Structure 1
């Protein structure tokens, strides 16, 4: 009892003056947010969350809002890798200029996107590639499995989601068998996106696969879950590459016998040619951010042909990658460049539309100048918040002649853009703030008229399964729906 009596003055002080340390804590956190000098909209959103959700807002920011220390580490790794590659880039500069000139003769000023790749050291623009468009998992997985079975040297895979379901187990068994044969198998998955596989591989002591979870999440590193490796790429023998929105999961394979399954509409591309080297370089960069033993690119992993004649195809291909520490939102910048050079059409597919102000304005300006701008998003989303946030951004587009389609057949997960039947974007990038600024993302930018035509034909097919949204329909929705949209929009910078 005497102890409690002795402590009573301290309790009285705490009851009367608790607000002082709390105020200092709030001031410190808000100052940190401002000093980080991030996106102003996101900065304001976090401040509102912290002010109007006392304590809860601080906890959310501690686990999911902080980025300074982590981003500084990623920047340091990026600088180290840039230094390692700079000599090679300088040697390749004349070749890149030659490639870009060839591409310019075919697509005109749309080739500026490839100049961006060169100047920012994002990718070697390449020619003479074979590209194959793959619609949904039904088309991708048979080819992918065949390529894995034919591997002779190495298999590199980097996926956001790798499920331990039927297709996932089948692919994992192939990887294990190949690793036992002596083939180097390196597998990276996102810790947040593939928790089941991470748990399985940690228990599997006899695996020959070189496996790492990207940015592993523990209680002390929950903030890592905000930085997601959203890429889906594979490189086999340094000769065949895959990119797109299709993860390793059964849900990407539409079984007509399973009437309860949600139809999953997605897109991927298979590459052969010099472009595969750039996917290899992207994987190498990601691998160097794990505890995996580094590997030398020269050891059979890169097969750059300086005479421009590695592949028999006619496609020009380059890649734009970005991460939380990129000096610019490169994927958004590449898209803005292309939209600005569009003359006839811009067609975009995305599962999540939470645009930056720059992207929204670019689409509006293009449509207002006579370009046919069409945007397709899913009518039913896998996220309530994202769906309503997306709807809140549509009115300005509808007011300025952008055609917006709501896909009804199932869930539209494809991330594609086509410009003027000349240039295509296919990759992992959603048209949202997270993809532009927070996630690890990559997109293939392809100059190939046949592929463009295929993508445009697929867009036309998908329009048959969609509803064209107009301004009167959007405004006729209930006040409750609009209110939900507005609330979700406030959270959009944090999604």
Structure 2
């Protein structure tokens, strides 16, 4: 008993010593990672001021685990498998970029960037349809599924077990029974109900995979979310955008949704769909799905004699193992080459220093820069963190609109009516550095004009914030903004 008492006396007196070593070790690890400086400082502040909880949070969500190393290894392996095909496309890509440059000038440098980084090939002659909200998307989406003859590939962050979700599932089961190969990936963090449902449904003919399953022993997986919303039908038709499979996106009286959801997606036909197919193939292999070959039936000829439409299309892909924040970099190139007008829509504005600077400089240089955000967000902390970044924009001439009709969830960027980005990318640290994200890069006058028209219509349901109004906000609200901003790099 004396030994036990002596042990506890020693621990009670010297407990702080191992804690100091632990603190030094964790903080040294954070610094050695040489990550984003803002993120590094935020983690150190959390660990210092919320000691035990801070270290637990860092252990669960702050480290780049072996899982990320595996992602990078798989991505590199699959890139090598496609290397010869990519090299064979070089003349086609160079010719395509020359043609795009003739249409939109230096904005074509975004396509060059994607080619040089081997993210996506530029493609011409595509047909793109802009789809606003679930009311427009889901009828077109369901028809595409119904028309499938060979394969259906779906990869979504949120897939709800509600009326539209069950309608899609029933159709997928029907097509699978008819001999169409249906492969479905959902993010396990974003779609927990569907994951449980599919695991119990033993007779399902759908080839299903949960992306990065989240369990007690793999809680860190919840930090790496597959935020993409992709569908590829027969290798010919693709869907990309912000609209998940959920009733909340359908603004119909009979649905009874309490909040109007404003979102944007696109339907794509043409050679660009090959890039979506390859992206799905990468995700499927990473999720340990049954292998399939990218052969006839999954990919189409890149150089069709008769073009389907006028759209030049490429894609920006990024994930936790990316060499750089490619989606942010692609936006920076486009913003830097803008000549007249920049219109951004995002539900969450927690920008990198680079993006915030690019917008301020563009406005100060005489460009019309407009940013649209929801007046009421679905996250209190994110809402106030976003608000803390508004004042510097207003001071430099950026017009900031707050959408009041409901919740605006669209993620779009439209530059000079010549180049549009439509995808899953929020203007925040998580989308740029942590999540699996995708953005369609579209050069088509008709599509860009339609996107600009929708922006102008949405402005009728917005409040334009002035610098004077911003300065008159209550002090306590600005204080809350500042506190939430400290967590911004971690959100």
> Which TM bucket (shorter chain)?
over 0.9
From 365, 384, 390, the counterpart of 2:361: 365
| 1:444 is aligned to 2:440 | yes
Instruction: Compute the displacement of 1:310 (Å).
Output: 5.4
Find the residue that maps to 2:372 and give its secondary structure: strand
Find the residue that maps to 1:425 and give its secondary structure: strand
Q: State the Cα deviation string for residues 35-83 of structure 1 (Å, max 9, x = none).
A: 1111010011001101100111111111111114222111111111111
From 377, 382, 392, the counterpart of 1:381: 377
Query: Paired residue for 2:401?
Result: 405
From 104, 107, 114, the counterpart of 1:107: 104
From 216, 231, 234, the counterpart of 1:234: 231
Instruction: Compute the displacement of 1:259 (Å).
Output: 5.9
Query: Paired residue for 1:316?
Result: 312
Find the residue that maps to 2:205 and give its secondary structure: coil
Distance 1:149 1:310 in 2: 25
Instruction: Compute the displacement of 1:235 (Å).
Output: 0.2
The 1:99/1:215 distance shift into structure 2, 3 A limit, reads same
Instruction: Compute the displacement of 1:369 (Å).
Output: 0.9
Q: State the Cα deviation string for residues 290-319 of structure 1 (Å, max 9, x = none).
A: 11112111142110233x435420100000
Query: Paired residue for 2:392?
Result: 396
| 1:325 is aligned to 2:325 | no
- TM-score when normalising by structure 2: 0.99
Distance 1:235 1:257 in 2: 30
| 1:468 is aligned to 2:459 | no
Instruction: Compute the displacement of 1:367 (Å).
Output: 0.6
Distance 1:409 1:483 in 2: 27
What runs of 5+ residues in structure 1 fail to find an aligned partner? none
Instruction: Compute the displacement of 1:258 (Å).
Output: 5.5
Q: How does 1:153-172 map to 2 (within 5 A)?
A: 153-172=150-169
| 1:128 is aligned to 2:125 | yes
Distance 1:414 1:304 in 2: 32
| 1:269 is aligned to 2:266 | yes
Instruction: Compute the displacement of 1:26 (Å).
Output: 1.3
Query: Paired residue for 1:29?
Result: 26
Please say if residues 274 and 310 of structure 1, whose CA atoms lie closer than 8 Å, have aligned partners that are also in contact. Answer: no
| 1:184 is aligned to 2:186 | no
Instruction: Compute the displacement of 1:246 (Å).
Output: 0.2
| 1:82 is aligned to 2:96 | no
Please say if residues 251 and 257 of structure 2, whose CA atoms lie closer than 8 Å, have aligned partners that are also in contact. Answer: no
Query: Paired residue for 1:458?
Result: 454
Instruction: Compute the displacement of 1:8 (Å).
Output: 1.2
Distance 2:292 2:308 in 1: 29
Find the residue that maps to 1:288 and give its secondary structure: helix
Distance 1:423 1:239 in 2: 23
Find the residue that maps to 2:98 and give its secondary structure: helix
The 1:489/1:121 distance shift into structure 2, 3 A limit, reads same
Further displaced range: 226-235 or 175-184: 175-184
Distance 2:297 2:443 in 1: 27
Please say if residues 247 and 255 of structure 2, whose CA atoms lie closer than 8 Å, have aligned partners that are also in contact. Answer: no
Instruction: Compute the displacement of 1:255 (Å).
Output: 1.2
Please say if residues 254 and 263 of structure 1, whose CA atoms lie closer than 8 Å, have aligned partners that are also in contact. Answer: yes
Instruction: Compute the displacement of 1:257 (Å).
Output: 4.6
Please say if residues 363 and 373 of structure 1, whose CA atoms lie closer than 8 Å, have aligned partners that are also in contact. Answer: yes
Q: State the Cα deviation string for residues 135-189 of structure 1 (Å, max 9, x = none).
A: 0000000010011011100000000000000000000011111111121100000
TM-align CA RMSD: 1.0
Query: Paired residue for 1:119?
Result: 116
What runs of 5+ residues in structure 2 fail to find an aligned partner? none
Extract structure 1 runs of 4+ deviating beyond 4 A: 257-260
| 1:432 is aligned to 2:451 | no
| 1:15 is aligned to 2:27 | no
Find the residue that maps to 2:28 and give its secondary structure: helix
Distance 1:199 1:429 in 2: 27
Query: Paired residue for 2:285?
Result: 288
Please say if residues 158 and 187 of structure 2, whose CA atoms lie closer than 8 Å, have aligned partners that are also in contact. Answer: yes
Query: Paired residue for 1:56?
Result: 53
Instruction: Compute the displacement of 1:13 (Å).
Output: 1.1
Distance 2:301 2:10 in 1: 71
- TM-score when normalising by structure 1: 0.98
Find the residue that maps to 1:292 and give its secondary structure: coil
